[in-house]
Each structure stands twice: as C-alpha cells, then as structure tokens.
Structure 1
Amino acid sequence: MQKLNWDDLRFVLAVADSGSVASAARILGVNHATVLRRLNAFEAAAGAPVFERSAQGYRLRADRLAVIEAARDAASALDRAGRHLSETLPDGGSLMRLTSVDSLCQSVLAEEMPQIAKRIAPHRLALISANTRLDISRLQAEMTVRPTPTLEEFMVGEIACDLAFAVYANKDAPGGWLGLGGTLAGSLPGRWLADHVLSEHVVALADSFQVLTVMAQAGMGRAVLPCILGDRARGLNRIDCDMPDLRVPLWVATHRDLAGLPRIDLLQRAVFAALRRQRDALEGVAQGA
C-alpha cells in the first residue's frame, strides 16, 4: 500500500455518501474528471478498489467498509482541528456560520441580524438558509437554530422557545389542502397532514414553508404554516379546524467539541437573546394561539 493522500479523502467520501461520481462532483463544485482522478488515485494508494461500479452507481465494497470508516474518522479529526483554526479576519475577529431553515432565516434571524452583529463584534456572521440539515459535525456551520424535539448526541444546546404552527388560508381559498413535500414531509405538521388529510384533498405540495405561504396567499388552499409566517402574511387568516396545538422546541445548538469556546458562547448568547425577543411571534401569541 502506498501512502494515502488525505486531500483525496473528501472526494472518496463524497462518492460514498452520494453514490455517484456526478453527484459528488456537484457537491464538491468540481468537474466529473477531477472526482474520477482523485478516486482512482486513492484506490491505487489503498491497493484495491473501494467501490463496485455498475449502471446504478458506485457502491462500497463490503471488504472496504473498514477503510471508509477509518477515512471518516480521519476526516472528523481534521475538521475538529479546523474548528480551532477558524477563519481569522483582519480586525482580529472570526467568521462564523449560523444555519437554520428558510422560514426562520428569512424572518426573525434576518430581522435580528443587526443586534446579533453588534453583540458578537469583532466577529462576523454568515447566515445560511438550508432546509436540509448542514453537517455541523463536519464544520459546514458552527451553530444552528433548529426546530426539533431532540438533538443528535454530538450536539449541545438550549431551547429558546417553541415554534408554533396553525392552519391558514385566504378568504377565496377552496377547501383543498397544500401538502408538505421533501424534507418537510417528516416534520410534525407533515406527519399530521399525512395522518389526517386524504391524499385526494391535497391540491399541491412544496418543500418550503416560505413557498407554501405564497401559494396560500394565491388562494390555492389551506396550509399548515409556522405562525411567524402565517400571522404576518397579507391576506391570510387562521382557520379553525381539528388540528391540535402543534409546536416544536426551537434549539440554539452547536457541536459539543465547540461548546465552551469564547466566540461560540458569544454567538450562542446573542442568537438565544434574539429568539427570546421574538418569542411571542414564534409561539403564535399575536393571535392568541
């Protein structure tokens, strides 16, 4: 076995996670040939193929699973080192990344950015809107505002408040429903809809509460929305129905390896305070929810 080039590692892991060279290339922002070249170099150094190639994609060989798991451990170790060598800015601060779902990034977090920025100076903040969870264990973000009942075991955080949901529609809406697709299908509102609304009554779906809000405003049907969006949307009103009080804890969380670092604690306190200032709106108190 030759000495492994750890720079090839991220290409191998991207193929392992995505199942194809084309998908890995899109994820990494490189071309197809670059991924193939790096993958071939890694396999040559490892002394044997890592993947089985087929028309369906790339599948890990059973006898090479241990290699990939060792590679993941090495990648995690490199990421942990990187967390302590964060990007340094000319004024002595660092750039930190906060991620959350689009409905929160485009409402309370964007509104509170000026106050958050003041509290964390000279550090700066990048706000990343993503309905798919970024991998905090691999430093895609330092902190998250996440609506979820529980956190993964590698994360630590504090609940700022609840995120409440209600049913909304405009006065001209027909009786149909707007469904939740993609990652939102597994959310608390998504599960309630799946259990209580017949599929033939769902007239359209979306994987974003922001998009669903616009669709509801256009009169397409009733939608289950976060109160922070529905209460503010022009032309929408809460609709009485048999939906129970749906709410999810809203966490401000980080990776356990980052917890206790002064810059991370500073950001966590600033974001927590921002959410507490918006607590009534997030919990739907404005209309008596």
Structure 2
Amino acid sequence: MNWNDLRFFLAVSRSGSLSEAARQIGTSPSRVSRRIEALEAALGIPLFLRSPDGYRLTDQGAEFVPRAEQVETAALSLSGKAAFCAGIAGRVRLATAENLATRLLAPALPGFLQAHPNLTLELVTGVRSLDLARYDADLALRLVRPTSAETRIRKLGHMACAVYIAVDADPPGFVCWSAEMGDLPVARAVTAMKSPVAIVSNSLAAHHELAAAGAVRAVLPCFIGDADPRLRRIGGIVESAGQDIWLAINKDVAASARIRAVADFVVDVVTRNALQLAPGPTASPAGAAATPHPA
C-alpha cells in the first residue's frame, strides 16, 4: 500500500465519482479504478459499493477514511515543509476571484514575472473557496474572510460597488444574480433594491457587458465600472454590495521565499490600487482604469 493509492481513495470518497476524482487528480477514470481495486486487494476489504449512480463507501470504507486522512495530513505537511528550501523558483498556486485575477492582478504580472523568471504562478479562479489546509492552493486573495486555523490572514482593503449603465442608454431593468449566487453581498443588494429584473446571470463578466451594451443596469465593482468608458455610474456607492479583500496563506508554506514573493506582490497591487477599488461617492473619469503597478 502506498500514499498514491490513499490519495485516489480519498478523492473518490469525497466526490463519489471516478470521473470527478480523476479530474481532480489529473488522470484517467480507468487508472483511478485500478488503484482503488489495488488498495482493496491490499487491505482485504471492500471500500466502495459500485452502482450506476457512482461510488458509495462501505462500512469498512467509512471506517478507513480517518486513517487515510491522517496519512494525507502528514504527507501534505512534509510536502509543505520541503518548499521552505526551494527559493524563489517553482510553482505557486494562487486562488482568487475571476475579476481580481483578470482586472487587478493581470496588468501587473508582466513586471513581476520578469523579476522572477524561475517562478510559475498558477491562478485558480472561481467563487468556491479552496481549502488551503489541504494544499488546494498555497495562498488565496478572497472577498470573504477566511476562517481556517491553518492559515495566516490579512485584510488588504475594500472593494466598493455602484450601479452602472451605458453612457448612451437608460434601461429600467437590472441584471440580477442567479439563485445559486444569492448569498453574495452584491446579489442581496440588487434584490433589496426591489427594481425590475430584466436578465438573470451568474457571470460578473456578463453583468458588465450587458450593462455596457445598454441592455440593463448592473451593480459592478467600481474598479471595473469606473474604468470602462462605455459606462457611467449613477447614484452613490452601494454600501451593502461592497466586500473586504483578504489574503490567506497556508501556515506550512508561509516562510517559503516563493510564497512570500507572491504574497508581497499581491499586497502591493491591492495597496497601490486602493482608491480605484474603493473610490469616493463621485465616479472617477471613464477610462481611469485600475491599472496595477508592478510589484
């Protein structure tokens, strides 16, 4: 029995699916199936009940999960500690929201990468918060305060939002967030306005472009809306839609030179763009983009 087989086992136990486990690990479903079978043979017990609906843990499999997780925790800790000596080289995985990655960090990345040619930055974007304790990412730039005891956190700033419409249009209806995004502050803010809803979408990029096209009103982050010459801000800052910006770093790798370099870069970019992220009540001139400065 080896650690890789336990890794396959835990992936299937958490996802209930060979294909999803294979996607997470970066291999084929057939290989996952073979490793699960090899582990069951080595242990002499059935770990899963197979059905057309997926994989479900047997009683023996459920009892084995805590032991496998103990091995996983030890292996990940050793992996993290080995990163201390790597220097400013290798791969760093940064989890963040799509808008922060593309609109805030991306313009500043050329200078940073030029200064660190041996570093590879992996940007993992999305709304779902990854588990830094399980090394889903090394650090995260998030709009929700991290709560894990295994991370070091720091508040970097605030992201304000306002209502935007196209400069040559005045549509009455809003674009609203779809139900699965209803817990976002911006979604709650739009709902509280009790205004007519013309379009529902789960994509910030879609909200942005729909407003720019003149189809709807949209509540957008100010550093995006103020920077677009196709848009104009109406009214003041929508306070209830704003969110604080947080940096979280896995404690096990926080002292790594490459992690520290990326963290310093992120802090610098957010700090330098504080006024674009959280401007005053008056809209900044269109086209005054939130252009991050190189770290």
TM-score tier by shorter-chain length is 0.7 to 0.9
Could you tell me which runs of 5 or more consecutive residues in structure 1 were left unpaired when the two chains were aligned: none
Distance 2:231 2:92 in 1: 36
Match of 1:95 among 86, 91, 96: 91
Give, as a single letter, the amino acid of the residue that structure 1 aligns with 2:219: V
What is aligned with 1:169? Answer: 165
What is aligned with 1:203? Answer: 199
Shift of 1:263: 3.8
Mapping 1:19-168, distance limit 5 Å: 19-86=16-83, 93-117=89-113, 121=116, 124-131=119-126, 132-168=128-164
Return closer, same or farther for 1:126/1:183 CA change in 2, 3 Å cut-off. Answer: farther
State which drifts further: 236-245 or 218-227: 236-245
Shift of 1:122: 6.5
SS of equivalent residue, structure 2 residue 36: helix
What is aligned with 2:289? Answer: none
Count of residues in correspondence between the two structures: 282
Shift of 1:125: 4.3
Distance 1:221 1:270 in 2: 36
Give, as a single letter, the amino acid of the residue that structure 1 aligns with 2:92: M
The list of structure 1 runs, each at least 4 consecutive aligned residues, that deviate by more than 6 angstroms after superposition, is none
Distance 2:52 2:208 in 1: 40
What is aligned with 2:228? Answer: 233
What is aligned with 1:223? Answer: 218
Distance 1:105 1:85 in 2: 28
- Is 1:105–1:127's contact at 8 Å kept on the other side of the alignment? no
What is aligned with 2:270? Answer: 275
Give, as a single letter, the amino acid of the residue that structure 2 aligns with 1:97: R
Please tell me whether residue 256 in structure 1 is matched to residue 251 in structure 2: yes
Could you tell me which runs of 5 or more consecutive residues in structure 2 were left unpaired when the two chains were aligned: 285-295
- Is 1:213–1:233's contact at 8 Å kept on the other side of the alignment? no
Give CA deviations for 1:131-151 in whole Å, capped at 9, x if unaligned: 133332232322211111343
Shift of 1:173: 5.2
Give the superposed CA RMSD.
3.0
SS of equivalent residue, structure 1 residue 186: coil
